[in-house]
Amino acid sequence: MSSADIGVTGLAVMGRNLARNFARNGYTVAIHNRSYARTQELVDQFGNEGSFVATETVAEFVKSLRRPRKAMIMVQAGTATDTVIEALAEHMEPGDMIIDGGNAHFADTRRREAALRKRDLLFVGTGVSGGEEGALLGPAIMPGGATEAYASLGPMLESIAARAADGTPCCSHVGPDGAGHFVKMVHNGIEYSDMQLIGEAYDLLRRGIGLEPRRISEIFAEWNKGELDSYLIEITAEVLAHTDAETGSSFVDVIVDQAAQKGTGRWTVQNALNLGVPVTGIAEATFARALSSGNVQREAARQLAGPNPAEHEVSEDMIDDVRQALFASKIVAYAQGFDQIAAASAEYDWNIDLGACASLWREGCIIRARFLDRITEAWGANPALGSLLAAEEFSSAIAQTQDSWRRVVATAARVGVPTPGFSSALSYYDGLRSERLPAALIQGQRDFFGAHTYRRIDKDGTFHTDWSGDRSELSL
């Protein structure tokens, strides 16, 4: 019987909870998983939460959906997603829709959307953020795909999405084909950057000042009451307050200090390199995870000289400086992420509304933060800002924090605590505001060794100096 409003296949952490979220919101949900055990488990544990149609085969799953069908995939990105799409498509009919809510690469989404369009099937690649809890109670949802697809799917997604304080659903059509997955990828890149900055703040308080995790937890909890108010700061306070039951030690002290990554941060940086957008914070965060996991190099370098700690005591006065450095660096991280979205939007003709994009991240997602209201307003007031850093409220916020920021970066260098996030954010800020950059010298060097030419500040045209001859200038 074709009775389900929507289907979810892939019932691990995300799929299971999204299926429950749809059911709790009154939809009849067909459920399917490669191995039936997960389907049975969902029905056994949560079957009473709403209307589920449990299915064992893909054919049965597709058949159980009301036409035009909507089937959502929540499986691993890459070949697993291609396999599931193909299996679904074989049983679908023209006008049916496949929605991929996994963390797919946006280029794969563009390819899949185009291929399925040729088969008269709609394909929506959508970012979903919020982890297990968000998927169940209301994630941030970033759908791409055709406008026509959003017309029928959008209301369903909006009904299960998180809501901002003003009641707006944290879900809206981001743009065509891969735009949704692109925005989710950059969301994850900012997530990497934000987590790295928080890690550096922790490290400065721990190794720089010498505070214990429980005290640092209290500091983060306090910071979470102000302009740093965000989900990541909130959970940081929780993690730092946690005690390991087995050893009685601070939980953070029993975790191996090697940060894993599934790929979205790396994809963001790779794409930023292609687009020529300096997302230095995301790049440093991604490399910092790689450095932490580089066993061979860490082992080889462990005995290298550092500053004498006795000569470099840091007082508790620095705590508030660290808070301010964190806020300034965080503004830079978001500014860089929005630059990348703007560049991709122009490159792929997506016409992404940056204000609407910021609005999507206000609740439900991992990078949700109080200051996203202000970012939404800033882009809404002036979509041609050029850089988020140029918005009055952020330029004045940084003007107020920059002395602290500079002190923190200088202190970190002095005491030997690595702060690639704080330092690169400050360098980026100083680079942008510089009247003149040493890029002029680099152009001179390029022209010297490779006749790569340069432009002049005082006249139009392209020039080359005859470096190996009489050093006269040629206008090309």
Ligand X SMILES: O=C(CO)[C@H](O)[C@H](O)COP(=O)(O)O
Whose Cβ is closer to ligand X: residue 224's or residue 264's? 264
Residue 187 counted as an annotated binding residue: yes
Q: Is 25 annotated as a binding residue?
A: no
Q: In the complex with ligand NDP, which residue's Cβ is closer, 157 or 211?
A: 157
Q: Provide the b/e sequence for 28-59 (b: ≥16 CB within 10 Å).
A: bbbbbbbeeebbbebeeebeeebebbbbeebe
**Which of helix, strand or coil describes residue 147?**
helix
Nearer to ligand NDP, 31 or 344 (CB): 31
Least Cβ distance, residue 235 to ligand NDP (angstroms):
13
With CB under 5 to 8 Å by kind, the binding choice for 75 among ligand X, ligand NDP, none is ligand NDP
Residue number, 269 or 325, with CB nearest to ligand X: 269
CB 133 within 8 A of CB 119: no
Residues that bind ligand NDP (CB under 6 A): 10-15, 33-35, 38, 74-77, 80, 83-84, 102-103, 128-129, 131
User: From the list ligand NDP, ligand X, none, which binds 191 (C-beta under 5 to 8 Å, kind-based)?
Assistant: ligand X
Question: Is 110 labeled as ligand-binding?
Answer: no
Q: Which does 38 bind (CB under 5 to 8 A by kind): ligand X, ligand NDP, none?
A: ligand NDP
Q: Which two tokens stand for residue 105?
A: 């690469």
Rounded least distance, CB 260 to ligand NDP, Å: 13
Q: How far is the CB of 188 from ligand X (least distance, A)?
A: 5
Which of 409, 365, 362, 313 shows the shortest CA–CA distance to 133? 365
The DSSP symbol for 340 reads H
Flag whether 262 is marked binding.
Answer: yes
261 touches, from ligand X, ligand NDP, none (C-beta below 5 to 8 Å by class)? ligand X
Least spacing, CB of residue 130 vs ligand X, in Å: 7
| Active-site residue, from 70, 113, 118, 191 | 191
* Residue 17 marked in a binding site: no
Minimum Å gap between C-beta 32 and ligand NDP is 9
Nearer Cβ to ligand NDP, position 37 or 390? 37
Overall residue count recorded for the chain in this entry: 476
382 touches which of ligand X, ligand NDP, none (CB within 5 to 8 A by kind)? none
* 109: its two tokens: 């989404």
Is 289 annotated as a binding-site member? yes
The reply to whether omega before 68 is within 30° of 0 (cis) is yes
10 makes contact, choosing from ligand NDP, ligand X, none, with CB < 5 to 8 Å by partner type, with ligand NDP
Give the residue with the Cβ less far from ligand NDP, 83 or 247: 83
363 interface partner picked from ligand NDP, ligand X, none, CB below 5 to 8 A per type: none
455 is in an annotated binding site: no
- 113, 132, 133, 184: the active-site residue: 184
Return the number of the residue (88 or 216) whose C-beta is nearest ligand NDP. Answer: 88
Contact (CB, 8 A) for 454 and 444: yes
Check residue 263 and report its DSSP letter: S
Using the CB atoms, write b or e for 64-83: b if 16+ within 10 Å. bbeeebbbbbbbebeeebee
Mutual orientation of helices 280-293 and 318-348 as an angle, nearest 10°? 110
Least separation in angstroms between residue 186's CB and ligand X is 11
Q: Taking phi first (over 0 means left), then psi (-120 to 50 degrees means alpha), and beta for anything else, what does residue 12 get?
A: beta
For residue 461, CA distances in Å to 442, 447, 454, 456, 473 come to 18, 15, 9, 8, 12
Give SS3 for 146.
coil
Contacts 24+ apart (CB under 8 A), 78-84: 78/104, 78/108, 81/108, 82/108, 82/112, 84/9, 84/10
Instruction: Look at the alpha carbons of 175, 343, 135, 87 in this order and tell me if their dihedral is positive or negative.
Output: positive
Amino acid at 281: G
Task: Give the residue with the Cβ less far from ligand NDP, 38 or 63.
Answer: 38
Q: What does 12 bind: ligand X, ligand NDP, none (CB cut-off 5 to 8 Å by kind)? A: ligand NDP
202 assigned binding-site residue: no
Q: Can you tell me the distance from the alpha carbon of 398 to that of 198, in angstroms, rounded to the nearest whole number?
A: 18
117 labelled ligand-binding: no
Integer Cα distance of 416 and 430 in angstroms: 22
CB 115, min distance to ligand X, A: 25
* Contact of 240 with 217, CB cutoff 8 Å: yes
Q: Is 234 a catalytic residue?
A: no
Side chain identity at 20, as an amino acid letter? Answer: R
Kindly state the smallest distance separating residue 431's Cβ from ligand NDP, in Å: 33
Q: Annotated catalytic, 118?
A: no
**Residue nearest to ligand NDP as judged by C-beta position:** 102
Query: Using CB under 6 A as the criterion, which residues of the chain lie in contact with ligand X when the complex forms?
Result: 103, 129, 131, 188, 191, 261-262, 264-265, 366
Which secondary-structure segment (H or E) carries 70? strand 70-73
35 annotated as ligand-binding = yes
Binding site per annotation, positions for substrate: 103, 129-131, 187-188, 192, 262, 289, 446, 452
Active-site residue numbers? 184, 191
Binding site per annotation, positions: 10-15, 33-35, 75-77, 103, 129-131, 187-188, 192, 262, 289, 446, 452
Binding site per annotation, positions for NADP(+): 10-15, 33-35, 75-77, 103
